[in-house]
Structure 1
Amino acid sequence: MAEAAVRPATTDDVPEIARVHRDTWRTGFATILPAEVLDGIDVAETAAVWAEAVDRGQVLVATEGDWLVGFCAVGIAPREELADAQGVVPDDAATTALVSTLLVEPRWGRRGHGGRLLARACELLVEGGVTRGVAWVPEANLPLVSFYAKRGWGADGTVRTLDASGRPVRELRLSGSPNLDEKVVTGL
């Protein structure tokens, strides 16, 4: 395997981030989201959104050799992402981060890139005073639910249902500590 690394994203990475986003969703979410949703992902529009996130410094990229193979977006969780079903926001909201996206292109999967991305993101979060992390994951995406479970993150009892062109997609909110064990994260 070529040298693998995780680093902050730069504006030069944005086109590849958008491509990886589209390609990963089309492959990894094909059984979860309707084809028209996946076919409608426009790389130029997606790149504009990712350019803003990169400018805010909230995106890390995974590389293998010269290839950008995945990315992760994190930041302090918006209050509405933390509220329970009754709308109550937890006391630790100010120190809770949201992993809004963690994607590794399927052809680069099972090489530890996702674990390295999450580990580095969590290191940065802990340095910034974060005490807990959350991520929304489609309930039907068992590999992603399992990925987080192996790192000690689990469903916290809050669910939401999104409308994907008329198809309901149920998501679980996973919650866990940003203090990850490096050996568990990377599979070393």
Structure 2
Amino acid sequence: MLADVEEIARIQRDTWRTAYRDLLPAEVLAGLDPVDAVRELVEQGTATVHVATEGEWTVGFCVVGPAPDSEVAEADGTLPADADTTGLVATLLVEPRWGRRGHGGRLLAAAAETLRNGGATRGVSWVPEADRASLGFYRSVGWETDGVVRTLDAGGRPLREARVTGPVDLKLINS
């Protein structure tokens, strides 16, 4: 997986610069260099990283693992009854030029399988509220927003994210 670090970082950088150019300040996007963060994540081993390929090209990736309490807590800070069996899809990105080819669905199906194998019954992820494409993608597989939002500081500009959640019994259907 260490061999994929540079490509994963490139995909994150390029995808964010395309998909989030209207959501994040230009200086934040220009300064985005996730290589060290991706390398640390892969070396830690606390999360599983799946990659999507098409031919010889790496076209997307997904990071999945146990969900920290802070990711599953309700808006008032209380933990739901299933907090111990909730997993986190920390990142799921497919380069826009490779979109609409099923890579996102396959990545989420692989993430769901990883979560199930780890004992999870439900997954969560965070999506910018203004990212209609990603919200629609999650909705298409039965994941919905649950009413919990958070606001991040994105270079001095607030970025609101909605939490999506759904079952991890997703199955990949070949058509």
TM-score category, normalised to shorter length: over 0.9
Aligned-pair distance for 1:168?
A: 1.2
Task: Give the 5 Å matches for 1:125-136.
Answer: 125-136=115-126
Q: Does 1:72 align with 2:62?
A: yes
- Quick one: percent identity of the two aligned structures? 58
Inter-partner Cα distance in structure 2 for 1:135 and 1:173: 6
Inter-partner Cα distance in structure 2 for 1:18 and 1:112: 21
SS in 2 for 1:36: helix
Inter-partner Cα distance in structure 1 for 2:50 and 2:40: 13
Q: Does 1:53 align with 2:44?
A: no
Matching residue's letter, 1:161? T
Aligned-pair distance for 1:52?
A: 2.3
CA offsets 1:28-74 (integer angstroms, 9 cap, x no match): 111111111101102xxx12211222231511100011100000000
CA offsets 1:72-119 (integer angstroms, 9 cap, x no match): 000010101111121101121111011010000111111110110000
SS in 2 for 1:85: coil
CA offsets 1:115-154 (integer angstroms, 9 cap, x no match): 1000011112112211000000000000000000000000
Inter-partner Cα distance in structure 2 for 1:98 and 1:113: 19
Q: Does 1:114 align with 2:104?
A: yes
Inter-partner Cα distance in structure 1 for 2:7 and 2:171: 30
Structure 1: runs of 5+ lacking an equivalent? 1-9
Name 1:3's counterpart in structure 2.
Answer: none
Root-mean-square deviation over aligned CA pairs: 1.2
SS in 1 for 2:168: coil
SS in 2 for 1:33: coil
Inter-partner Cα distance in structure 1 for 2:104 and 2:93: 7
Q: 2:144 aligns with which of 154, 166, 169?
A: 154
Matching residue's letter, 2:38? W
Inter-partner Cα distance in structure 1 for 2:65 and 2:5: 18
Inter-partner Cα distance in structure 1 for 2:38 and 2:11: 11
Name 1:25's counterpart in structure 2.
Answer: 16
Inter-partner Cα distance in structure 2 for 1:166 and 1:49: 21
Inter-partner Cα distance in structure 1 for 2:106 and 2:41: 20
Matching residue's letter, 1:174? V
Matching residue's letter, 2:153? D
SS in 1 for 2:23: coil
SS in 2 for 1:182: coil
Aligned positions, number = 173
SS in 2 for 1:41: coil
